[in-house]
Amino acid sequence: MLDLILRSTALVAGTLSLLTALGVVQPAFSQPADPAKEPVVLGVSGPLTGQYAQYGAQWQRGFDLALEQVNAGGGIQGRPLRVQFEDSQSDPKQTVAIARKFVADSRIVAELGDFTSAASMAASPIYQNGGLVQFGFTNSHPDFTRGGDFVWSNALNQAEEMPVLADYAVTALGLKRVALLFINNDWGRTSKDLFAKAARERGAEVVGAEGYLADEKDFRSALVRVRDTRPDGIVLVSYYADGAQITRQLREAGLTQPVVAAGSVYSPKFLELGGAAVEGVHTTTPFFPGDPRPEVQTFVKAYTGKYGIEPDAYSSRAYDALLLLATVIRQSGTDRTAVRDGLATVKDAPSVVYGTVRFDPQTRRVDKPLSTRLVVKNGGFALWEPGTAKVSN
């Protein structure tokens, strides 16, 4: 009897979930009749489930906000702007399928994403051959835009970002013997090499470099190696969760040197997860809520009003990327090739990350991001003032 009840419960649950799935399918097929009011659709391929889901969720917050603003301002010449967010789990076998779907769907004007290099670059040939712009706004892999002339990126260029970080650590903070901890993926590895070069050029020595695996949580033994190189400062090429973890553990291990972290730790979560230990950590960021520029203030006010939290690096880049594409489409129209050509010629598009955006048509990347020097003070990110924070550790 119990078995029967279980069976039927299970079946009902299964049927219900299938119905839910189908129920969500329905609206996708209903299309408005008037072509002048028909939405302009941007495809997004990104992780909403799986191990990178947190980044996809941050993207979505940025996109939703940008969409609200674009559509409140009349959309694209009266047509509403929409985003079709397809969950890829950042799994290459799913991103290639999504790429085929987007390329074949004539409503899609351009594509944004994916998150990891393995997932994004597997899909690049399909976007390139299909003639649909793949706009990788977090793809910093040095070869990402070499996928073809439809592959563009406004991700921070590490060749620009790392010298800025080295300036902060070596020139401003006066560090001479730096130990580096970096996440051992394409971004961390490229950044490490560029930072080491920039630091040497500025007269500092990189005395140790430890690459750690992305899912690492225990850094005690790695920090013993760092300690034994007798550094006078520690540089982190980390995301916010691992950056917070390393900082906690290095303070617990009794290391008191100043910590300088790459801009990717810039997130309210870094402060939450790191607690008191991240006090005094230095970082640079292209985007800072305290920036007085009106576009930044509009964004910060709208974001905190909508979500009740401060924006982080990923949601600000998603917001920025969507506004940029909206600007390009407004100028160049909704033709896919026109969007590509529009990216090459767009000038002075407003951006919370860059100030204004302009692409190098050869590399299809953006140069010269803004950069603000920050330090964690009283549990929040604050502007760093020379001469004061140097001894705060």
Partner 1 sequence: MGAGYGQGFELTPEGPIIVFPTTLGPWLDYTINGLVIGNIYALLAVGLALIFGVSHLINFAHGSVYMVGAYIGWLCVTKLNLPLPVTFVTVAAGCGLLGAVIERVGLRPLRNAPRIAPLLATIGLSVVLDQSAQLLFSPDPRALPTQLPTWRIAIGGGSIGALDLLIAGVGIGSAGLLYGFLRFTKLGWAVRATALDRDAAQQCGVDVDKVNRTVFAIASALGGVSGLLVGMYYNTIDPNMGFQAGLKGIVAQLIGGVGNVPGAIAGSLLLGLIESYGIALFGTSYRNLFAFVALILILVLRPNGLFAQARRLPPEPLTGTFIAPSRPLVLPKWAVWGLAALALALPLAVQQPYLLQTLGNAWLYALLALSLTLVAGTVGQVSLGHAGLLAIGAYASSLLALDAGVPVLLAVPLAGLVAAALGTALVYPAFRLRGHYVSIATLAVGEIVTLVILNWESLTRGPIGVTGIPPLSVAGKPLVSGQWVYWVPLAVLLAFAALQSRLLNSHLGRTLRAIREDDVAARSYGVDLNRYKGLAFAVAGFIAGVGGALMAHFYSYINHETFPAPVSMLALTMVILGGLGNVAGAVLGAAVLVGLPELFRAAAEYRMLIYGVVLLLLIRFRPQGLLGTV
Give the separation between CA 185 and CA 181, rounded to whole angstroms: 12
Residue 293 binds partner 1, judged by CB under 8 A: no
Cα-flanking dihedrals φ and ψ of residue 163, to 5°? Answer: -60, -35
Q: Which stretch binds partner 1 (CB under 8 A): 95-103, 279-287, 296-304, 339-347?
A: 95-103
Residue 278 binds partner 1, judged by CB under 8 A: no
Q: Closest approach of Cβ 295 to partner 1, in Å?
A: 26
Q: Closest approach of Cβ 384 to partner 1, in Å?
A: 24
Residue 186 binds partner 1, judged by CB under 8 A: yes
Q: Which stretch binds partner 1 (CB under 8 A): 198-206, 324-332, 337-345, 377-385?
A: 198-206
User: Among residues 121, 170, 173, 339, which is the contact residue for partner 1, using CB under 8 A?
Assistant: 121
Q: Closest approach of Cβ 356 to partner 1, in Å?
A: 30
The amino acid at residue 250 is L
Nearer to partner 1, 86 or 161 (CB): 86
Residue 273 binds partner 1, judged by CB under 8 A: yes
Residue 224 CB contacts under 8 Å (≥ 6 apart), including other chains: 253
Residue 188 binds partner 1, judged by CB under 8 A: yes
Encoded tokens for 135: 């706009």
User: Among residues 43, 46, 75, 92, which is the contact residue for partner 1, using CB under 8 A?
Assistant: 92
Give the footprint of partner 1 on residues 25-44 (CB under 8 A): 25, 28
Helix, strand counts (H, E) of the chain: 12, 16
Reduced 3-state DSSP string for 281-339? CEEEECCCCCCCCHHHHHHHHHHHHHHCCCCCHHHHHHHHHHHHHHHHHHHHCCCHHHH
User: Among residues 220, 301, 306, 368, which is the contact residue for partner 1, using CB under 8 A?
Assistant: 220
Give the footprint of partner 1 on residues 330-369 (CB under 8 A): none
In this structure, are residues 83 and 42 in contact, taking their beta carbons and an 8 Å threshold?
yes
Give the separation between CA 288 and CA 135, rounded to whole angstroms: 23
Encoded tokens for 297: 């203030």
Q: Closest approach of Cβ 38 to partner 1, in Å?
A: 20
Q: Is 373 left (phi over 0), alpha (psi -120 to 50) or beta?
A: beta
Residue 329 binds partner 1, judged by CB under 8 A: no
Residue 245 binds partner 1, judged by CB under 8 A: yes
Residue 160 binds partner 1, judged by CB under 8 A: no
Nearer to partner 1, 181 or 198 (CB): 181
Size of the site for partner 1 (CB under 8 A): 97
Angstrom distances, CA of residue 54 to CA of 50, 88, 120: 9, 13, 17
Give the separation between CA 120 and CA 90, rounded to whole angstroms: 8
Roughly how many angstroms between the first and final C-alpha of the chain, as a whole number? 68
Give the footprint of partner 1 on residues 58-87 (CB under 8 A): 58, 85-87
Q: Which stretch binds partner 1 (CB under 8 A): 37-45, 140-148, 355-363, 369-377?
A: 140-148
Nearer to partner 1, 76 or 209 (CB): 209
